[in-house]
Amino acid sequence: MPKKAEVRQIWRCVYCNKYYLVRHACETHERYCGKNPTNDHKCLKYCKHLRDGGIGIERFWCASLREPLYSFGAERSPSMHGHLGNMVRMPHECEHYICDLGEDQ
């Protein structure tokens, strides 16, 4: 006997349209979605001052501010939660920003 089709409610991310069957999962995704404007870090647009912070992909160093930085990715990483208080969240805009696409560009 064939199974009957099921109609279910879905939730869509308002930023990227990815869909979820569980509302909480969608809300969590929206908070950390790479297309969420609050997660748009100027530093990640090839700023020449941005350096690898050495520990994990979410940890960075700004050579201009001389401070450790973190991205929205660190906020979703439980292993980073104990470190965020001593770091600066990457800004949306920065007066020190200088685009550096490298020598190949």
Q: Which residues are near Zn ion by CB under 5 A?
A: 13, 15-16, 18, 33
d(CA 61, CA 10): 40
Measured in Å, how far apart are the chain's first and last C-alpha atoms? Answer: 61
76 versus 83: smaller Cβ distance to Zn ion: 76
Least spacing, CB of residue 30 vs Zn ion, in Å: 6
28 versus 98: smaller Cβ distance to Zn ion: 28
d(CA 22, CA 14): 15
16 versus 99: smaller Cβ distance to Zn ion: 16
One-letter amino acid of 55: I
Least spacing, CB of residue 40 vs Zn ion, in Å: 13
Least spacing, CB of residue 97 vs Zn ion, in Å: 25
Q: Alpha carbon of 80 to those of 37, 59, 66, 85: distances in Å?
A: 22, 9, 20, 10
